[in-house]
Structure 1
Amino acid sequence: MTAPSTNTPDHQPRPFVDLMVSIVIPSIILMKFSGDEHLGSVNALLLGLAFPLGWGLFELVKYRKKNFIALLGMISVGLTGGIGLLELDAGYLAIKEAAIPAIIGLAVLISTRTRYPLVRTMLYNPNVLDVDKIQSALEKNKATEEFESRLMKATYFFAGTFLFSSIMNYVLAKWIVVSPSGTQAFNEELGRMTLVSYPMIAIPSMAMMLLIFYYLWRTIRRLTGYTLEEVLAPHLADK
């Protein structure tokens, strides 16, 4: 008897498409088409935000089991649109920009008080690594306690990357977006902030996360003596 096929397709990373739809296209619309001679400030804001919102909704519906980040993105875009359309003080935008990564960082910290710290869930799991093999080697080398300590430290470092992002988001929003919401200038500044945030915040944050994962991998290598190929989950090693 064959197992029933799943209706949810596997998610394939598409960083170029994500970058274009979520960053580049909305920024161009907000910066170049917010004037009254084009779309106007309200229509440009709606159209610019529709791209990341629509893409996030598409990803969430199609790959619903794997897109917590898409959900957060939709919430973030929705709040940005609300601030612009309701013409709230631009200071709320800075608060919103800081709040999203701060909430994620807080969730990472809270996870350290549970049985499943976020770094363990993301990396140290049977879908990525041969956990049984690593655990056996750690016990044999009497290094389990040291590994758990370093795993916890990696989780704190991970939370720190979101703290960095939260602070930088706030500073960037306060620095760039200074015009009243609901105006052409506000839209142009919002587009500029979206473009600038990628090299100034996203790339450094990704670099810090890669360093954290490298730190954790070096820990596994030192405490077990295994190479990366030797501790990959069997289905990944076969590939």
Structure 2
Amino acid sequence: MIKKYWMNKLKYFGLFILIWTIYWFPDVIFAYPEIFFKSLIGYERQLASTWLLFANLLISIGLGIFLGVKFGYFKNTLSMFKIKNLLIILMTFFFASILYFVTLTYYSSHFPLAGIAQTQMEYSNQIVFPWINAISFGISSPLFEEMAFRGTIYRFFKNDKLAFILASITFAWIHTGFSPVLLVYLPMSVILTTIYHRRKVLSESILLHILFNTFLPIMFSFLQFLTGIYYL
């Protein structure tokens, strides 16, 4: 019994590492184009590395979906499309948008641009085609991050309260480290974990995460325009 318990722990720890490795593989390849395209320089290298990123994204997303199906991460996905559940996700997104607006406005008013934000901007600027960027941030990131930080952590820790706390903190920390920008990421992480915690349907937190990555910057600009608030 004890052996089975620890083997189960080892399985989900290994699965977490595997998911994270597959997730980061396209980015690591993309980060060092000079290794793969020694004969190319400037825009030609950037273009070639963008297409390489796209190919690797498709492979990694395919592997991620395969793992998710094999290990039951997408159970009860169809129940997500019930009106009640979709409304909860949508209402949560609008609430999160307001919270994001408040926390990010406060953060940007009192702290310099975080390293993570600069890194993301530099990463995005290297990608020639915006739609590939959309696949990376709008599909790949939500899929793998939810599988790792919600799906796997909840399976590793049978205590749901402990899993909730650790999933929320580790997800935020992996994006920010020990930085004041944690003020912005932690509330978003708690919201994502809450959506998963409610019914243990990973597809719901993935969908909300997709909405976050795709529309939160737009909502932030819209709320700035609507309220005229640029400083807190």
> Does TM-score exceed 0.5, indicating one fold?
no
Q: Quick one: higher RCO (CA 8 Å, sep 6+), 1 or 2?
A: 2
**TM-score in terms of structure 2 length:** 0.31
Structure that is richer in helix per residue:
2
**TM-score in terms of structure 1 length:** 0.30
Query: Is the radius of gyration larger for structure 1 or structure 2?
Result: 1
